[in-house]
Amino acid sequence: MTVTFPTTVAPTRRRAGRPRMDLIGLALAGLCLALLLGALVAVSAKFALAFVGVAGLSVLVWLRPVTAAYLIIGLTPLVAGIDRGRIVPVLRPNEALTVFCAGILTLRYFVQFRPGTPIRPYITRIELALVSIAVSSSILPLAWMFLQAKEISADDISYALVLWKFLGVYAVVRFTVKTQRHVRNCLAASIGSGVVLGTIAILQTLDVPGIRPFLLTFWAPFGYEEQLAIPRGSSTLSLPAATADVLIFNLAIAVAMLWKSRRQIAVLAGACLVFVIGTFAAGEFSSVLGLVVGLVCIAMALRRLDLLKYVPVGLCVAIIAAWPAVTHRLEGFQSAQGLPNSWIVRWYNLSMYFWPDLFSGSNVLFGVRPSARVAVLSQGTGYVWIESGYTWLLWGGGIPLFAAFCWFVRVSLRELWARCKDLTDWSAVAAVGAFTAVMVIVATMNFDPHLTYRGTADLLFALLALAAVGKGPPDKIGRQQRPGTVEEGQGEPIMGADDRGVSR
């Protein structure tokens, strides 16, 4: 005999009534949006179209938070070269996208948060190192300037927020990507945008008709159109060195994906060729060094040093394909000084504008100021930037920032090296890309502050976040699911995930 208590009926009634309330709420919201859209159409069709796009993107990110990671990773290399204020006030388009997605996700979190839910934050050593870099490049130098009664300009505030902006990218990717399928999709988005970026760089170097007018529409840095006349692949990042960095990082991802899945060999091999040629098309000596370092790191991370035997053939093909950029750079050695003019200008700028202030008094202790540039009216862009990454560390944060960067390199390389072993999942593929990216940045920081380059830093922080997916706290390692136990296409092998498929 079964006894039915009256209390069991109430929840059923509530559940039956709740959909009707939701429908009423959706109907009211739709009516309000329709009225607002009609008013905007009456004012401006452009505003109405923008409103529809923003509303649609908001709904998409709300319903599928991982969409934010896809958009940030896929679109950043294509729009990060557009100057601030050109499309969106104050911000670059990729920065506005990150802020927008972060706002939607934060609102979603608080709306769905249940009071009493235990919060157990787990911060990895890599994340602590990244936060230490951000603090020592912003709070410490600004406090030092305040104590010295130095004027803190808007440029100082802007540069002090740079690392925090990249931490925002890390946070969005880290908290929205939950499964290995999500990681794979993010990596595919990165490779896809990298192919577009590299193709444009190659066509720009070859001076294919239509490419330069296309880049002049939005991608002329600070409106300095003469820079696009130089046969160097700045592409949609408007910075040749950053373009090469992103291509090298994607090369590591593509090779690791090819080695893991052995699928889509033709597509991934073609992408690798574009990345190598595009790196040479950038026309940067430091980028060639970064490419060599990257190739060695890829072979090391995959534990297959025999792959290096294919490097000479690939480099020869790339040099031939990007010959205009190569010859343009080699012509610099025919100057009266026997060195490229850019090298001489670099040394002059450092010794004239930066080193005297850096090494005077106690400035090297906490840095000179966060701003990494000085205004020089004789320059086409109006500024002279610090063209030495390690000088930038001391200039922007002194010894604390330099030490924080060294700690980050040590911690990240150790953990990423262990993470990419055997390529057990797609996060391990991301770890190969992140490991290569850190090593390339360590090498190229001798020339420029690649750690803060647009595109370069965005992809680095995103790869670090992807490599951490499925990695739970140390006390839960024993309870984690064994990686790779589910066949591809039949499920989503997740390390450190519970039965609901949510990463701890």
Q: How many alpha carbons fall within 13 Å on the CB side of residue 473?
A: 7
Res. 291: pLDDT tops 60: yes
Question: Residue range 300-328: average pLDDT?
Answer: 82
Res. 483: pLDDT tops 70: no
Task: Write down the pLDDT at residue 36.
Answer: 53
List b or e across 205-221, with b for residues whose CB sees 16 or more CB atoms inside 10 angstroms. Answer: bbeeeebeeebeeebbb
Res. 204: pLDDT tops 80: yes
Res. 98: pLDDT tops 70: yes
243-252, 334-343, 437-446: lowest mean pLDDT where?
A: 334-343
Task: Write down the pLDDT at residue 376.
Answer: 84
- What is the percentage of the chain residues whose pLDDT exceeds 90? 51
Q: What are the pLDDT digits (tens) for 65-82?
A: 999 999 999 999 999 999
Which DSSP string corresponds to 339-387? S-HHHHHHHHHIIIIIHHHHTSTTHHHH-S-S--EEE-TTSSSSEEE--
Res. 156: pLDDT tops 90: yes
Task: Write down the pLDDT at residue 231.
Answer: 78
DSSP letter at 497 equals: B
Task: Write down the pLDDT at residue 487.
Answer: 37
Task: Write down the pLDDT at residue 29.
Answer: 52
Residue of 335 and 40 predicted with greater confidence: 335
Q: Classify residue 155 by burial, with Cβ atoms within 10 Å: 0-12, 13-18, 19+.
A: middle
Residue of 493 and 103 predicted with greater confidence: 103
Please state, as a whole number, how many other Cβ atoms lie within 10 Å of the Cβ of residue 473: 13
**Residue partners of 212: CB distance under 8 A and separation at least 6:** 204, 228, 229
Residue of 101 and 332 predicted with greater confidence: 101
Q: Enter the tokens of residue 128.
A: 């602590």
Res. 322: pLDDT tops 80: no
Residue of 39 and 200 predicted with greater confidence: 200
Classified as helix, coil or strand, 502 is: coil
Classified as helix, coil or strand, 327 is: helix
Task: Write down the pLDDT at residue 368.
Answer: 92
Question: Residue range 442-469: average pLDDT?
Answer: 94
> Mutual orientation of helices 456-467 and 426-444 as an angle, nearest 10°?
140
Res. 334: pLDDT tops 80: no
23 — pLDDT class (breaks 50, 70, 90): low
Res. 486: pLDDT tops 60: no
Task: Write down the pLDDT at residue 360.
Answer: 87
Cα 391 to Cα 155, 358, 411, distances in angstroms: 18, 9, 22
Max intra-chain CA distance, the chain: 103
Highest average pLDDT, of 24-38, 391-405, 475-489, comes from: 391-405
**Torsion angle (degrees, nearest 10) of CA 327, 328, 334, 335:** -170
51 — pLDDT class (breaks 50, 70, 90): low
167 — pLDDT class (breaks 50, 70, 90): very high
Res. 48: pLDDT tops 70: no
Q: Enter the tokens of residue 261.
A: 């899945």
38 — pLDDT class (breaks 50, 70, 90): low
Res. 94: pLDDT tops 60: yes
Pairing state between β 383-385 and 373-375: antiparallel
Task: Write down the pLDDT at residue 474.
Answer: 53
Residue of 59 and 2 predicted with greater confidence: 59
* Calpha distance 92→168 (Å, rounded): 15
Residue of 494 and 292 predicted with greater confidence: 292
What pTM value is reported for the model?
A: 0.84
Res. 8: pLDDT tops 60: no
312 — pLDDT class (breaks 50, 70, 90): confident
Residue of 330 and 447 predicted with greater confidence: 447
Question: Residue range 277-303: average pLDDT?
Answer: 91
Question: Residue range 213-228: average pLDDT?
Answer: 80
Cα 470 to Cα 126, 169, 422, distances in angstroms: 15, 18, 16
**H-only helix segments in 420-444:** 426-444
Please state, as a whole number, how many other Cβ atoms lie within 10 Å of the Cβ of residue 291: 26
Res. 223: pLDDT tops 50: yes
Question: Residue range 314-339: average pLDDT?
Answer: 75
Question: Residue range 232-239: average pLDDT?
Answer: 90
In the numeric block, the tokens 């000084």 are attached to 337
Res. 265: pLDDT tops 50: yes
Q: How many alpha carbons fall within 13 Å on the CB side of residue 122?
A: 15
Task: Write down the pLDDT at residue 46.
Answer: 65
**Residue partners of 293: CB distance under 8 A and separation at least 6:** 439, 440, 443
319-333, 387-401, 416-430, 488-502: lowest mean pLDDT where?
A: 488-502
